[in-house]
Chains A and B, each alone.
Chain A
């Protein structure tokens, strides 16, 4: 690991000011992904700004009838919150499908959204990777890519986003609240939060340098049956091959978002109109324009069949 200086801050304003003051700085909260990458020298910050003790660890009701989840709320606490379990079951289900108990005790809401890909070539510093080293090429294209994206990918990168939580957040129409170095706050719909890889896969979100996530808000509950079905190589503690997060209403309408298929949690609202007609037309709409390799083409039928299972489960 490269050496770095360290400071702990006690306010969002102090955090962004420290970032402005210190070139090469990164925020650290749970640290479960950042430190892992620093050990491999994939991330090499010269300064760490510890934001883990900011007073952003509350889950509060909003005036609109939803919830505001502080950026520092731990994954365990978010999954356990009685309001989340009752009204946003999809979010609890997605959270407890991810990582291990130990990691969920450290990982934060904001950090979960900002996880980097688990593409093995991103992790292997002996291999080219446009995300890790822009312009060096992509070893996953033409390599071992059974785990990789089937939608939204580019000729520069076929990595997937690893978060389960983000899939639920996407189906729930979450918004990400931030503050920038100038103290300006904004709310970014999660649909607009992740950037398509295009020719610049190293740029993963629309956050500006030094912009700090302060909270994630959920609109008021939409009811329905909440199901998160994650398909993985092990029964527990493994990243998704694909996952389906769905909210299904009694009349068969609903929402669907997918994990493990692209650079972001994948949702196509227009495809959801077909939900009462079953899995196939929805899966076709979600995966329109998919580009597969011989190793990951299985993901297309797997999405459709998993969705069919989810819809059958929702009917009870």
Chain B
């Protein structure tokens, strides 16, 4: 399924027919529209197909497109936010094949066949994910801009602790890590909140984890 790309320049739509296969060098031939504007040489594109929030998606993208821009500008899933665009703030955090990553620091075309979950895929306003509900209950935000990234990160953090992934504050590397405030603060340090809602964010996560913080 490919959504209409109304943000796109019309030239790309014309060129989309001349695509080569995935994972090959894909120099798009100069098409009719491009010939009308000779100064602009078409940037290379590549095809990619992946699953986003349970739905199959196929795109042909400028190879430079980050996963973040593919989600926001091409699939119009604008819940995932662009903060720094350099992997420093965590606002763009999504879950890919069960792991949280910075979607700004990865190319969309590198995710062939993978399963991507964004904030829209965790829950809806009518049927919120437990972590979304807990952020509401505990007031885990002020402006809300970092919130989608915080929530995706928080969901994955609890899975990481369950899977036994150690952190900088895990005292005993031979023992399973546990959900504590200290562990959560360390593990959430890649998600910056300029409003400073950190303490309520930690309350929300401990609530979902079912532990008394």
A86-B174, A237-B189 in contact; A102/B44 too (CB < 8 A)?
Answer: no
Any B CB within 8 A of the CB of A32: yes
Task: Check A106/B102 contact, CB under 8 A, given A1-B64, A3-B62, A96-B167.
Answer: yes
Q: How far is the CA of A288 from the CA of B120 in the complex (A)?
A: 56
Contact of A7 with B165 at beta-carbon distance under 8 Å, contacts A100-B189, A100-B190, A236-B186 already known: no
Q: Are B190 and A102 in contact (CB under 8 A)?
A: yes
Min Cβ gap A160→B in Å is 19
Q: Identify A50's interface contact among B110, B156, B167, B188, CB under 8 A.
A: B110
Known A-B contacts A31-B107, A39-B85, A106-B101; the reply to A101 vs B174 at CB < 8 A is: no
Q: Are A101 and B23 in contact (CB under 8 A)?
A: no
Q: Are B174 and A85 in contact (CB under 8 A)?
A: yes
Known contacts: A39-B85, A79-B165, A89-B173. The answer to whether A102 contacts B112 by CB under 8 A is no
DSSP class of B's interface residues: helix, strand, loop or mixed? loop
A36 and B167: CB pair below 8 A? no
In the assembled complex, the CB of B12 is this many whole angstroms from the nearest CB of chain A, namely: 13
CB distance from A140 to the nearest CB of B (A): 20
Compute how far the CA of A235 lies from the CA of B66 in the bound complex, rounded to whole angstroms.
30
Q: How many residues of chain B get a CB closer than 8 Å to chain A's CBs?
A: 48
Selected from B102, B173, B187, the residue in CB contact (under 8 A) with A85 is B173
CB-CB < 8 A to B165: which residues of A?
A: 76, 79-80
Residue A8 is within 8 A (CB to CB) of chain B in the complex:
yes
- Give chain A interface residues in 25-40, CB to chain B under 8 Å: 28, 31-32, 35-36, 39
Which residues 234-279 of A have a CB within 8 angstroms of B? 234-237
Write the B151-170 contact mask toward A (1 if CB under 8 angstroms, else 0): 00100110010011111101
Give the CA-CA distance A5 to B23 in the complex, in Å.
10
Q: Report B184-212 CB contacts with A as 1/0, cut-off 8 Å.
A: 01111111000000000000000000000
Q: A35-B66, A96-B168, A236-B168 are in contact. Are A102 and B101 (CB under 8 A)?
A: yes
Q: Considering the chains assembled together, what is the distance between the CA atoms of A86 and B166 in angstroms?
A: 12
Q: A32-B102, A86-B174 are in contact. Are A7 and B25 (CB under 8 A)?
A: yes
One of B30-38, B52-60, B86-94, B132-140 contacting the partner? B86-94
Tell me if B100 is interfacial: C-beta within 8 Å of chain A: yes
- The CA of A161 and the CA of B23, in the complex, are separated in Å by 33
Across the two chains, which residue of chain B brings its CB closest to A9? Answer: B23
B residues less than 8 Å from A100 (CB atoms): 87, 90, 189-191
Residue of B nearest to A76 (CB): B165
Of all chain A residues, the one with the shortest Cβ separation from B26 is A5
Question: Is B78's beta carbon under 8 Å from chain A?
Answer: no
> With an 8 A cutoff between CB atoms, is A4 at the interface?
yes
- Whether a CB of chain A sits under 8 angstroms from the CB of B72 is no
Q: With A3-B64, A4-B64, A50-B110 as given contacts, are A101 and B25 in contact (CB-CB < 8 Å)? A: no
Give the chain B neighbours of A7 by CB distance below 8 A.
23-25
With contacts A96-B166, A100-B90 known, is A4 near B110, CB below 8 A?
Answer: no
Residue of B nearest to A86 (CB): B174
Are the CB atoms of B102 and A102 closer together than 8 Å? yes
Q: With A105-B100, A236-B168 in contact, is A48–B190 under 8 Å at CB? A: no
Q: Identify the B interface with A (CB < 8 A).
A: 22-27, 43-44, 46, 62-64, 66, 85-87, 90, 93, 99-102, 105-107, 109-110, 112, 153, 156-157, 160, 163-168, 170, 173-174, 185-191
For the complex of A and B, the 3 pairs showing the least CB-CB separation, nearest first, are A100-B190, A236-B189, A3-B43
24 A-B pairs within 8 Å (CB atoms) are namely: A1-B64, A4-B63, A5-B44, A6-B26, A31-B105, A35-B106, A39-B85, A39-B86, A50-B110, A76-B99, A79-B165, A85-B173, A100-B189, A101-B187, A101-B190, A102-B87, A102-B190, A103-B102, A103-B105, A235-B186, A235-B189, A236-B185, A236-B189, A237-B190
